[in-house]
Structures are given as C-alpha cells and as structure tokens.
Amino acid sequence: MMRPRKWSDPGWMLAPTTILLIVFFIAPIGIAVYQSFFSWDLLTPPKAVGGANYLAIFKSGELLRVTGRTLFFSAMVVTGAMSIGLALALLLNRRGLWFSFVRSAVFSAYVVSWVAVALLWLWILDPDRGIVAKGLHVAGVSSVKLLNHPDTVLPVLAGVTVWKITGYAMIMFLTGLQAIPNEVIEAARLDGAGAWSRFRFIIWPMLRPTGTFVGTTSLVISFQAFDVVRVMTQGGPARASTLFVYAIYESIFMNLRVGTASALTVAFFVVLLSLSWLQIRAWRQKA
C-alpha cells in the first residue's frame, strides 16, 4: 500500500471537503442542538428551557404524528421510485433511437426543479380545469379533490415525488445493468435460465449495490420533501400532509418557535440517520 510521505499530506488534501462538511453540515447540526435547549421567537432574547422543547413535541404527539406521516410517505416514494425505476431500466436497456429518446424523456423529469414539478401537478390535478378531473368527468365521475382529502393527499404527493425521481433511479439502475457483462447473461441463457430466472438469480444479485444506493438516496430525498408540500397543500388538509421538513418550517416561520423547530430538526436528523443505517445494513445482510 502507498504511504503518505508526511503525516500532514493526507490532512491538507482532505481539508477542502472537511471545511465544507463543517460549515454546511456539522456546524448547523451543532447550532440546532444548541438552540433546541432554548425558547426563542426571533424577536425577544432566547431563554434557556432545558429539555422542555423535546418534552413538548413528544407529549403533544406532534413528533410521533409527523414521523409516522413522513415514514408512510417515504415508504411509498422509495418502493415506488425503486420498482418503477428498475422496471423502466430493464425495459429500456436496449439500443436504438427510440429507447434512448424514452430514457431521456423519463430522466428529464428529474432535472426539472421541485417547484416547477409541484406547479405542473397542481395544474394537472386541479379539480375544475385539470386534465385528470376532465378525464374523470368524461368517464362519468364527478370531480374528485384528491389534494383536499386527508386519505388521498399523501399518496398523491408521493406519486408526484415518484414521478420526479424515478428518472434518477432508472439511470442508476441502467448504469448497474450496463456493468453486467453480456457473456454472463448469455452463459445463464445456455444454462437454461429463462428471463425471470436470469433476473432473479443473476441480474438482481449483481444490481444489489446499486439498489442499496438508490434506496438510501431516495429515502433521504423523500424525507427531505418540502417544495411539493409547500406549493401543493401547505401541509393540509387538517395537517394530513405536514411532513417533517414542512413541520420544521412551520414552527419557525409561521409559529416563530425556533426552539421547537430546532428540537424537531435534531429529531429529524436522528430518525433519518438511523433509518439509512438500518436500510444499508439490511441490504448488506441479504447479499
């Protein structure tokens, strides 16, 4: 193995990343942890309150409700994006102009900004003028307000999120598929494996590292969902779509409770970290 000539060499090479990590990651978390022990409304000076903020979000049930909602939303997004992304990758992993066009089209949704996506879907789902409503009207169904019903709002937001990030999952899976040598697939064909067996025993095990990566990143993306909520529902109806990040936003900018928001942020960090860790471990074990 190569050894650094001076102990400081690896140090300064890592410095730029380390500085970025400190400024944008470690310091904010530190500040959030610190502020979570204060009560502050941005106007009057902060007051130290100990663990009162944590106790409050826990006792009021707010933390549990928000976490549960976000988990439900994330589960839909992760399974949706991964399964559709994988299916598309398998379907579109061929040569030809047509396939390359469809691949680009699917991926293009990922490049569009979250706000634009949210506005687009808001328009599509508009109960009066949206094309979904018009289509349902033609089919004889009276206007449904998918975004205005507590039971449908989260699946709809999850659908929109899946629509946007599936292109990303697809590209990652395509890259994984292309790393599988053709010879291996052909050997499996000669060994008597049909399409399903080839997928089940050869392709899928070889895609597992890609799957772990896509799973974890889409978990993080879905946990951080904010713009869709902000633009499409503002957390409603009846807080049914108040996801974690939106709840934090609400505490600061609407309720002016920095302490509560900070406590939520710390909780958010802990939940997301442990989920990612669990997920990566689970995938490793199955391999």
Residues 6+ apart with CB under 8 A from 177: 89, 90, 93, 203, 207
Q: Which is nearer to other proteins, 140 or 192 (CB)?
A: 192
Give the Cα separation of 285 and 160 in Å (integer): 32
Closest distance to other proteins from the beta carbon of 159 (Å): 33
- Strand spans (E) along the chain: 38-39, 47-48
Q: Which is nearer to other proteins, 16 or 192 (CB)?
A: 192
Torsion of CA 254, 259, 264, 266, to 10 degrees: 140
Closest distance to other proteins from the beta carbon of 183 (Å): 4
Q: Which is nearer to other proteins, 208 or 230 (CB)?
A: 208
Q: Which is nearer to other proteins, 4 or 205 (CB)?
A: 205
* x-or-dash string of contact with other proteins, 127-166, rule CB under 8 A: ----------------------------------------
Q: How many Cα neighbours within 13 Å face the side chain of 215?
A: 19
Give the Cα separation of 163 and 110 in Å (integer): 8
Question: Which of 215, 216, 96, 117 lies closest to 163 in space, CA to CA?
Answer: 117
| Binding residues among 206-265 for other proteins as defined by CB under 8 A | 206, 208
In b/e form, how buried is each residue of 60-73, taking b as 16+ CB within 10 angstroms?
eebbeebbebbbeb
| Binding residues among 63-92 for other proteins as defined by CB under 8 A | none
Q: Which is nearer to other proteins, 119 or 206 (CB)?
A: 206
Q: Which is nearer to other proteins, 185 or 275 (CB)?
A: 185
* x-or-dash string of contact with other proteins, 176-215, rule CB under 8 A: -----x-xx-xxxxxxxxx--x---xx--xx-x-------
Closest distance to other proteins from the beta carbon of 74 (Å): 28
Other CB atoms within 10 A of residue 202 CB? 18
Q: If binding means CB under 8 A, how many residues of this protein chain bind other proteins?
A: 19
> Which residue ranges make up the site for other proteins (CB under 8 A)?
181, 183-184, 186-194, 197, 201-202, 205-206, 208, 287
